[in-house]
Structure 1
Amino acid sequence: MKKIIFFMAILLIFLNSCFKPNNSNDYSTITFYLTDSPNNDIKKAEILVKEIRFTTDSTDIVLLNNEKVDFLTLAGDLKELKGIDINDESVLKNAKINITLDSTIDLGNKSINFDSTSIELELSYYNINIGRDYNIIIDLDLATSLSGDSNFNPKFRTWMVADSLADYRTITGYVYDYEENKNPKVNRPVAIITKDSSELLYSTITNSEGKFAFKKIKLPLKDLEIAVLYSGATIESTNISSYIIIDSVKELSPSIENINLYIGDF
């Protein structure tokens, strides 16, 4: 996917206009967004989203209802769903996001039927400071959802981050064999993961030049790493360490915007 400077500038202006500071100390506004981790292999990924529902012990809210969404248009972008105000962290107790999909994804040149049309996600959150606003990101990862030419098993993730432009990151780089040779590795899955390998946050695939890009993503305040996964890996486990090419792993510090990864002969 080519980096389009003009588009990213417009997106930054868009984000600045969307996120407004909360001047009240009495409540926090939590805004829900839908996004997509990009996949370089397809040109369209349209699904009829029958419903996205947010529930807790005390809340039941429909965030999206009966809408066709082309998830590829959300790569590097965020689709705002709905915002809620809370005055106590306990409102989020046992928070879940339930997603109901139609059984077909339209890839442009073909359609694929799939069985996993109901997905339930548990929302992990940390100490909330009432008076500060937060975003809940709901992400469909196409890179791990599509397997081969005819299999689709939707992989959604969700997490909460503080509403600050400083939380947005654009991270690019290349995957090579060795640092001396720099032979590009094409169509290799690159993932951003937690340091304990318990959670995969974002993934994408290198292009014909071995380049990867994560555009305007939101990252939680955790110890993170970036790594290359074995080709064809399908993430089914909560511990993804067995899918990682160990030699490629690098710490993803807050200052990193460009990073190259090396995987040898894998």
Structure 2
Amino acid sequence: MPDVTDADGLTVGRAAARLGVTVRTLHHWDDIGLATPSLRTPAGYRLYTAGDLDRLHRIVVYRETGLDLDRIRAVLDDSATDVPGALRAQRALVAERIDRLQQLGAGLDRMIDAHERGLLLTAEQQAAIFGPGWDPAWPAEARERYGHTAQWQQYAERSAARGPAEWRAVADAVADLDRTLAEAMDAGVVPGSPEANRLVERHREVFAAYFPLTRQMQVCLARTYETDLAFAAHYDGVRTGLAAWFRRIVDADARAHGIDPDTATWQ
């Protein structure tokens, strides 16, 4: 299709390029009577005059503010329309949208930080919540070791939604469970008994504050509690022999659900 000069009008392609919209958009606006070109070539192609382009520019500006096409038509064509009022109302909607996007941005920042750091707490907050035996370097070490796993992602998503008060509640629940386990061991609760199995279930529920824990994963975790020096020191600090006893009650519960503790894997 031969080009034409601006004095004669712009083709739909050139008009679309100048306005930053698609040719299909201009065709649609023409079809609904929102912006019809004033000229046609002898072959019937659309040509937009300077006046047409001015109307199109206003449509583009109003559309970018969020006005729908019917409202734009009223603003442009209905003399009774309160244009400043319509724009003020749209400005209020835009302000609300900006606020929502800012909140979303802040949430994304927290999510990114949680994926990269694990805990969104200062070293002082961690010590106050988790006790003097807590090492603030542990979250970074955990990310280095487990950052590629689905469980780390789940943990990070939970962490992003928590502040000091929420982490305090998690720490209190873990400490209460540790005391309950120690008391049960002292009372001679037998692995495989209903009471022992309830404690195993409660451990999974409490641990879900970090990420969902399957029975097979729980077997692997209990094994780590007994064999890893740091974990064993923690549980034996609560009560001597607690790590080994906890592993026995977890293994017994696993067997009752058809899981062989000796071959259980992290899944």
Higher helix share: 2
Same fold (TM over 0.5): no
Higher strand share: 1
TM-score (norm 2): 0.22
Q: Which structure has the larger Rg?
A: 2
TM-score (norm 1): 0.23
